Structure 1
Amino acid sequence: MIIDVALGDRSYPIHIRPGLLGDAAAVLAPLARGQRLVVVTDETVATHHLATLAAGLPGIRLEPIVLPPGEATKDWAHLQLVVERLLDLGVERSDAVVALGGGVIGDLVGFACSMLKRGCRFVQVPTTLLSHVDSSVGGKTAINAAAGKNLVGAFYQPVAVLIDPAVLATLPRRELMAGYAEVAKYGLINDAGFFAWCEANGAAVLAGDSDAQIHAIAHSCRAKAAVVAADERETDDVRALLNLGHTFGHAFEAETGFSSRLLHGEAVALGMVLAHRLSARLGLCPEGDAARVTAHLAGLGFATEARDLGLDCSAARLVDHMKHDKKMSAGRLAFILTRGIGRSFVSRDVELAEVEAFLAGELA
């Protein structure tokens, strides 16, 4: 299937089909100037998927740039490495660089391409569930800084997204879970019916059921495409809703050093639980809905208690991390709260002192 991201002259298609990675010529061959494509990937993804992609592009020479795996790669040093390697390879603005990997590779390559010669084309070929349903769509590109996650970046759209659900068979369950958190998020934001579908089918998605995975990916991509078309640069609070759980989650990621100790999706899952609990504490959300979110995610194996992370920090330190959030404005932080499942909204009325007191209780 093909889902369009409608952005005028910057619109692009999301192609979704099992086996697409090994049959990508129809999409990628027209972008291969001089019968070559530069592919940026990481060591793990290269082992599993680079040969498959090459086999699906007969007559096209691939120039791979292979990086270390993991969130630590999304930094200044690797951004410089990628940019300089692309220059060494003579990449021009009319070329299309392929980002083959998960969210780290997609974010890093997109940001590099946004800067290279003031902008060259790139294609997202995501290989994780999280990047299938979230990071590959919408043009948010960034690297992490010492002050926090994704603080240096640009809005820069790809020219196409190629999603092959079959690649999920190579992922460990933990990586699938990290992506599933972003799937459930679409239901919790504004689609209670889809969250009910998640409650009934989430276990099947994680167990590798192909039909369930394809439905989850396609529904998530349609939802993300609609949000991006309505509010590409997050100026009208529409796209901001996609940050449900992320303010808490990014604080936990910062405290754990953006490491494999806590994956992004794991942090978001806990963050969504806490957003519903805080909303209930503020009298906005029924306690039963907050409990339902906790039960669903806990039942799939997610950590739903902040104290289970084993953090050696205070609530005040977590709030300090939040102060570096991109949604800070005039000293106030926009929180994504909820009036119930599928009824999220942006609030700028939450006092950080209230959040600190709430987190102190959660950590106790």
Structure 2
Amino acid sequence: MNRAPSPARHILRHLILPALLGAGSLLFTMPARAQSQAEQLCAADLNGNGDAADPGEIATCTAMTGSTFLCPLGQVTCTADAQGDYSCPLGSLYPCLTPDSGGTPACSPNACTPSAGAITTSPVVDDLGAANDGTLDEAGNCNGAIEIFSGRALRCRPAGLLTTFSNCCRNRGSIIKDGTGSALTSLSTKIAVAKGVFSGMRAAYAAFQAGASASQAASAGAGAIIGIDPTSLAISLAINLVLEFLLSGCDQQDMEAGILRGSGMCHEVGAYCSSSILGICIQKSVGNCCFNTRLGRIIQEQGRPQLKSFNSIGWGSPKSPYCRGFTPEEFQALDFSRMDLSEYYSDLTAKTQSNIQIDMKERIDAYMQTVIP
């Protein structure tokens, strides 16, 4: 059986790493000796899980005679009949190809495609959330639309080829906390914390791309978050988390989603294929709606089923999560007695369900008086 030598290392070094570091395309330069091996790629779902995102399921094709290429995945040796004519044991659809160096012809059930542009990747949506879209009138009331507990669409990527088989969605523990005081009375601070995660991950990733070491970039990212609200952030955990992300092939949005997911601030919408070769998925992504606080996520999850306005669209699709906040009218229509908020209060002080409901009503009333004087 004629297999290409060590394809995974070659692909990660010459194709995947340039893409992870922000290359504008998948074209790259390499030594002439390696160039022929990287001219064609192939992928196959070897373990039958519906994608080719696992180690060993993508390979560089072997150069054969006549400017042809053979995929080493599933490759078998051709058999000769009495007249010396070769045929593929897999069927007549698959041609027998002879290696450049000579030898017995072989065939493969998997097709090859030119490496330049071989990987098709969905663009990453940079959702900044609800914008500050209005001015205030003379009485201090907002002239624009008000969204309460609005979220942002963020994606993270589980283990796959483009993450160098690292799970960028793995829960690494809580980094940001809602705080030990009133989450609603300090809402502006908590919004600033969530925005600080974006600023911090952007700073870390930019520093890493500019040549800083992973530890220096992680410190720069954590420093940007520290400047927002040090009381709500586990600083040492943040530095260690960003360091792990930078060394594992995760990008800026992976890091941001990872911190918010681990802190309990995201609702997972579902997974979708974000990168493929010849229609075969080589990298999945997970779409999320991430909120400014854990409380915001809990109220969104338990409040949306109560409202007809969310019945038809729900959370949207994994590729395009629907993360808008409640309008003031929708928010006032919510029945908090039907919500279980114990997950939120378990981080604070143990309370009975009735006390949670009473306390929650007081906080909601105070918040509504703030946004609608």
Shorter-chain TM-score above 0.5: no
Structure-2-length-normalised TM-score: 0.26
TM-score under structure 1 length normalisation: 0.27
Higher relative contact order (CA 8 A, sep 6+): 2
Structure number with higher helix proportion: 1
